[in-house]
């Protein structure tokens, strides 16, 4: 067994304990504005996706979501809670006098010195007002398929479908699985000056040059359906629908994909084959599904083993059985060592795990015949599709992620 731990921090790294100490040292000496500014700056440096401010009886609990998990970074005294909440609500153009009803706000990148946009949501609890900030992705990162974690074969398959003149490409999975990021990467492939590209989103998550981006607004009855109808009268070549949530949006999207528009969208479904069942429940005829849908991408996000603090080990027979390898000839696996470099988790960063289903002739026939999702999945697998389980198994063997992450993903996948 071998191990390696680098104690020297990378330039610009912010460690959990150092962050906690830094923030605590400022609580009594600076006002809410500098404290909030520093907290947001550090959250961006840590690649956090969310910032939670939860009121408690003892004060305000501040947590960051890094690599999918929440971590405590600061506890503020009760006297500072109203000031911190009000400061953030002012930045987000929210009503600071309204503390009972839920509100939504937005902090622009101009306010944050061109870092990234932030979505802000507020809500009432028994101890006061709660805020959750969603830190939107960096516009310049994860813009290509090869940055997301797909295999070369999957990249080639998706690119082939993206280049088709029309049809639908769907990215499916649970909340927070990176679906929108994948669709943006597909949209980037199509971002050509000779094409008309339009997105309909709630909200706009990533600003893109040369793309007409529309944000729906339920307050004025301007939803996905209304936006879709308007966009289809404006000669689009490519249309990205932020999410298909209802039968009418699904029907309009399918019709657009059948009549010369490349449609990209996301959907909540457990895997590629179950997407067909969701469309069936929306009342879309099998022929429309079979002819409109080109490709379905199912995905999950898993944590990557920390590069600075890791060790190799020999897998036991049970682990070899799970990975489908011979215990006699098995090589070493990699796992992370919890340390201050990785929030004491052994992981740093995340990568995608993908399953790409092509609506081939056999799959199309199965859809038309009303076959079950299990039958469709079997047909696709026999045709060479790499399943989510096979994809993460490859990442474990390659030392990108751990066997424990594979267990965690598959347990959630089978629910």
- CATH 3.40.50.300 residue window(s) in the chain: 145-413
Return the CATH architecture of domain 12-135: 2-Layer Sandwich (3.30)
Residue 62, C-beta contacts closer than 8 angstroms, at least 6 positions apart = 23, 39, 51, 52, 53, 54, 72, 73, 74, 75, 76
CA 414: distance to chain centroid?
19
Beta-strand runs (E) in 2-83: 2-5, 50-56, 59-66, 69-76
pTM for this model (two decimals): 0.88
Superfamily of structural domain 145-413: P-loop containing nucleotide triphosphate hydrolases (3.40.50.300)
Is the per-residue pLDDT at 26 higher than 80?
no
CA atoms 205, 207, 213, 216: torsion sign: positive
The pLDDT assigned to 114 comes to: 53
Query: Where are the domain boundaries for CATH 3.30.450.90 in the chain?
Result: 12-135
The pLDDT tens digits of the residues spanning 270-314 come to 999 999 999 999 999 999 999 999 999 999 999 999 999 999 999
Q: What is the pLDDT of residues 169-221, one digit of tens each?
A: 999 999 889 999 999 999 999 999 999 999 999 888 888 999 999 999 877 88
């Amino acid at each position: 067994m071998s191990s390696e731990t680098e104690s020297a921090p990378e330039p610009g790294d912010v460690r959990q304990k150092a962050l906690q100490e830094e923030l605590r040292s400022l609580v009594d000496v600076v006002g809410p504005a500098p404290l909030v500014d520093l907290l947001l700056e550090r959250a961006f440096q840590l690649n956090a996706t969310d910032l939670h401010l939860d009121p408690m009886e003892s004060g305000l609990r501040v947590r960051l979501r890094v690599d999918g998990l929440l971590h405590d970074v600061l506890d503020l005294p009760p006297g500072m809670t109203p000031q911190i909440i009000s400061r953030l609500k002012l930045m987000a153009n929210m009503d600071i006098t309204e503390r009972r009803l839920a509100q939504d706000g937005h902090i622009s990148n101009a306010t944050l010195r061109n870092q990234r946009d932030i979505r802000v949501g507020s809500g009432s609890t028994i101890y006061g007002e709660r805020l959750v900030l969603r830190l939107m992705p960096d516009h310049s990162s994860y813009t290509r398929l090869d940055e997301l974690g797909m295999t070369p074969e999957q990249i080639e398959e998706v690119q082939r479908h993206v280049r088709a003149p029309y049809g639908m490409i769907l990215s499916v999975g649970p909340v927070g699985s990176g679906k929108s990021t994948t669709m943006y990467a597909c949209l980037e492939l199509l971002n050509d000056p000779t094409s008309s590209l339009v997105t309909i989103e709630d909200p706009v998550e990533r600003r893109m040059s040369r793309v007409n981006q529309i944000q729906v607004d339920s307050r004025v009855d301007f939803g996905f359906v209304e936006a879709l109808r308007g966009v289809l009268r404006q000669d689009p070549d490519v249309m990205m629908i932020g999410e298909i949530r209802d039968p009418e949006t699904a029907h309009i999207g399918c019709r657009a994909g059948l009549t010369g528009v490349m449609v990209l969208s996301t959907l909540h479904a457990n895997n590629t084959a179950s997407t067909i069942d969701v469309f069936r429940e929306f009342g879309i005829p099998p022929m429309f599904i079979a002819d409109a849908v080109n490709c379905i991408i199912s995905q999950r996000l898993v944590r990557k083993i920390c590069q600075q603090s890791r060790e190799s080990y020999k897998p036991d027979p049970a682990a070899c059985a799970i990975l489908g390898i011979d215990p006699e000839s098995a090589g070493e696996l990699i796992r992370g060592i919890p340390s201050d470099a990785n929030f004491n988790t052994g992981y740093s960063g995340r990568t995608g795990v993908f399953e790409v289903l092509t609506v081939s002739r056999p799959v199309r026939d199965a859809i038309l015949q009303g076959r079950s999702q299990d039958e469709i999945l079997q047909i696709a697998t026999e045709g060479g599709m790499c399943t989510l389980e096979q994809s993460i198994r490859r990442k474990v063997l390659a030392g990108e992620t751990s066997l424990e992450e594979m267990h965690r993903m598959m347990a959630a996948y089978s629910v």
